[in-house]
Chain A
Amino acid sequence: MTDVVLETLRLTRRFDSPPERVFDAWLNPEVAARWLFTTPGSERHTTALDVRVGGAWKMTDRRDGVDYTALGEYRVIDRPRRLVFSFGMPQFSPEFAEVTVEFAPDGDGCLMTLSQDRVHTDSIGPLTAGWAAMFDALAGLVAAA
């Protein structure tokens, strides 16, 4: 069993706010609901964040009458340095990616780096076996649609 993790996407952005504030914007439901997985034309947005390691997060955004859901699980919560969570959008793909966000002080601001990895299916171990079964079921549904 190989454990292949492929970093496929990396973005860096500087904010004029200290790392603590930028970090909290990801986990504070009131703040996160205004920018994360939402769009200006959103008709309804729901946010459920169980902010603890192993806790689930789920955000649903309604656009043109259709609900779009992004969900995952928190893996690392290290305020204000590092946040790691899994992330999937089941409507589009049965796959889950792992997202790592790092926050570094930069003058009186913060340099935030996001990297998104595709976790190779081979690396799905016993811990995520339940998820693997769910992904398979979703893949079947997507294929049948």
Chain B
Amino acid sequence: MVELSPPALDSVFHALADPTRRAMLRSLAAGERNIGELAAPHAMSLAAASKHVKVLERAGLVRRRIMGRSHLCRIETRPLAAADDWLRFYQRLWSRSFDALDDILCEEPAPSARSDGESS
């Protein structure tokens, strides 16, 4: 299980909540990109793209290295794994709970409910 502190996990979910940043991550998953390459598909200024990259950096999802005048960005997958762990944990918890609830509702029909005991 990948552990991340709650504030760190908050910043990951915050970063992922924006469609532009998700698209940037998808692009980075294919390889390193500079800010211009990340901005290009979104018709946005370099400054605006840089802001998005900063949010991704703060969440630990992107590392930036400076090569001369170019800022090269690279994806970091560890925080994504932590976010995924979080989702899976609660998804399992609720799914199991709903299974149990379904059993209870089936075994004790309400007075107003259909009285046939057969499952259709």
Contact = CB atoms under 8 A, between A and B. Distances in A.
The answer on A and B forming one complex is: yes
Given A11-B94, A16-B105, A114-B94, A21 B6 contact: no
B6 A94 contact: yes
B24 to A, nearest CB: 18
**How big is the B interface, by class?**
20 to 34
A63 B81 CA distance: 28
Contacts of B101: 15, 22, 25, 35-36
Interface in B93-119: 94-98, 100-106, 110, 112-114
B45 interface: no
A137 interface: no
Contacts, number: 74
B89 to A, nearest CB: 8
Contacts of A21: 105, 110, 113
A118 B9 contact: yes
A67 interface: no
A121 B10 contact: yes
Given A9-B90, A37-B97, A108-B114, A16 B106 contact: yes
Interface in B8-63: 9-10, 13-14, 17
Contacts of A128: none
B105 A11 contact: no
Interface string A26-42: 00000100111111100
B6 A139 contact: yes
Interface in A41-55: none
Contacts of A97: 90
Contacts of A36: 97, 101
A141 interface: no
Q: Which 4 pairs between the two chains have the least Cβ-Cβ distance?
A: A35-B100, A95-B6, A6-B13, A35-B101
Interface of A: 4, 6, 8-9, 11, 13, 15-18, 21-22, 25, 31, 34-40, 93-95, 97, 108, 112, 114, 116, 118, 120-121, 139
